[in-house]
Amino acid sequence: MAAPEVEHPAGGNQSARATELFRTWARDSALGLSSLSPAMAMSATSVSPQLARAAQATENVWRQIGHEFGLLTSTEAAEHMGYGRNRTWASAQRKAGRLLGVRRGGAYRYPGFQLDADVVPVISELVAVARRQGWSDESVVLWLCSPSGWMPEGDRPVDALRTDPRSVLEAAGSAMAPRW
């Protein structure tokens, strides 16, 4: 016996919406599994469920960062900054410690939160702190985009890059310092 059709208060058919959500979930799950299974099968060692969940959780954060801020190619970053299709500008800025670049899909990507009319000024200071402490650019970006106990009210450091850069630098110094 089929579930009764129920009108949702906001309008529309709740049963049809639930069916569509399930279909989307099933399709996305099948796609994910079809990508993961061959990679896991090629591994010489087994991967624990905990490690697999941690890897997926990290990938989900990267996708959220990409959706929220953009993860720009070197050409896109240069165009955004007004340098045309210059493929070397972003790479030179990253190597000089003036821009954060993360490896994604075999190439560097540049989080859009650090780019305005110019590179957000605090970024070079943040990169310097991170490099002194041995943090990768990937670790810095993940830290910036996560709630931090070092920030007022546990906010994300990325949200204060422009409004309170000193608090971000202080938090970074504390969060990145070695603990004994």
Average pLDDT over residues 87-100: 96
**What string of DSSP letters covers 64-75?**
HHHHHH-EE-HH
Asked if pLDDT for residue 108 goes beyond 60, the answer is: yes
- Strand partners for 108: 103
Give the rounded percent of residues in the chain with a pLDDT score beyond 90: 62
Two tokens at 81?
A: 């900054």
Q: How buried is residue 93: exposed, middle or buried, by Cβ count under 10 Å (0-12/13-18/19+)? A: buried
Helix H or strand E segment including 110: strand 107-111
CB 127 within 8 A of CB 137: yes
Two tokens at 157?
A: 């450091």
CA distances from 67 to 60, 61, 70 (A): 11, 10, 6
- One-letter amino acid at 95 equals K
Task: Report which of residues 43 and 167 the model is more confident about.
Answer: 167
Average pLDDT over residues 20-49: 78
Residue 7: band (very low, low, confident or very high) from pLDDT cuts 50, 70, 90 = low
Nearest to 127 by CA among 146, 144, 112: 144
Give this prediction's pTM: 0.78
Helix H or strand E segment including 90: helix 89-95
